[in-house]
Every structure is written in C-alpha cells, then in structure tokens.
Amino acid sequence: MPARSASFHYRTGFAVMLFASFLQVWVTIVGGVVGEDNPQAQGFFGVVVTAWACAFVAKGEADRMVRAMLATAAVQALLGAMIATAPITERPVKVLVVCGVFCVFWLGAGALFRRGAAAQGGRP
C-alpha cells in the first residue's frame, strides 16, 4: 500500500506544479499582474523556467523535487518583492498577493512531493 500512496502524492504534486506553471504563464500573457506591455512581466516566465529546470536537475525524484519546489517558491517570493518595490509598479499590493498565491502553489507541490518521498521510504 505505501507504493500507491507515494505514487498518488507524487502525481498530485506534479499536477500542482503543472497547473501553477500553466496558470502563471497564462496570467503573464494576459497581462494581469503588472499590466500590459510592462517589461517586468518577463520575470514571471523566469519563475516557470526555474521550476522546470530545477525539476530537470532533480531528475524527477520525489525527495529532490521537494528542494526544487522550495527553490522555485523562493524565486517567486524574491521576484514579487523586487517588482513590488520597483518605482514603475502601479499596484504593488496586487503583485505581492499574486506572488504569494503562486508561492502557496509551489510550496503545496513541494509538500506533496515530500509526502510521496516519505511514503516511498526516501529522505523527506
């Protein structure tokens, strides 16, 4: 039974990561975070690239994916702080809220990967 639980948590964590990536790209293309034609929006694509690059380096292993999602959440938080404090940002509170929501997605995916790694008997 532990293998089924590990597989469920891993797949759910991967689904959350995929959903957060898709949603972040979609919101950035629509121009909903920092406004349309704002060069700061390119940073949000960088967060998605960070998530997938870290997942590639982690080789998809559950215990390493935990660290990958923590790194992605840290990059997301840092980006939010940088954009919110930039002088050209019109609505810094909106940027912080959106980045906070995405941090919750990345940390939630990491928590699911951690449960999957613990159920496999790996290092959580």
Q: Write the pLDDT tens digit of every residue in 21-75.
A: 999 999 888 867 776 677 788 888 999 999 999 999 999 888 999 999 999 999 9
For the record, the structure tokens of 105 come out as 């997605």
Q: Please say if the pLDDT value at position 19 is more than 60.
A: yes
More confident residue, 62 or 102: 102
Q: How far is CA 77 from the centre of its chain?
A: 10
Tell me what pLDDT residue 2 has. Answer: 47
Tell me what pLDDT residue 119 has. Answer: 80
C-alpha 15/C-alpha 101 separation (Å) is 16
Mean pLDDT, the chain, rounded, equals 87
C-alpha 120/C-alpha 6 separation (Å) is 6
Question: For residue 1, what pLDDT band results from cuts at 50, 70 and 90?
Answer: very low
Kindly state the percentage of the chain with pLDDT values over 70.
Answer: 89
Tell me what pLDDT residue 18 has. Answer: 96
The closest of 21, 9, 35 to 117, measured between CA atoms, is 9
Query: With a threshold of 0.95, does the pTM exceed it?
Result: no
Instruction: Give the sign of the dihedral formed by CA 82, CA 35, CA 40, CA 14.
Output: positive
Contacts of 64 (CB under 8 A, 6+ apart): 57, 58
Contacts of 29 (CB under 8 A, 6+ apart): none
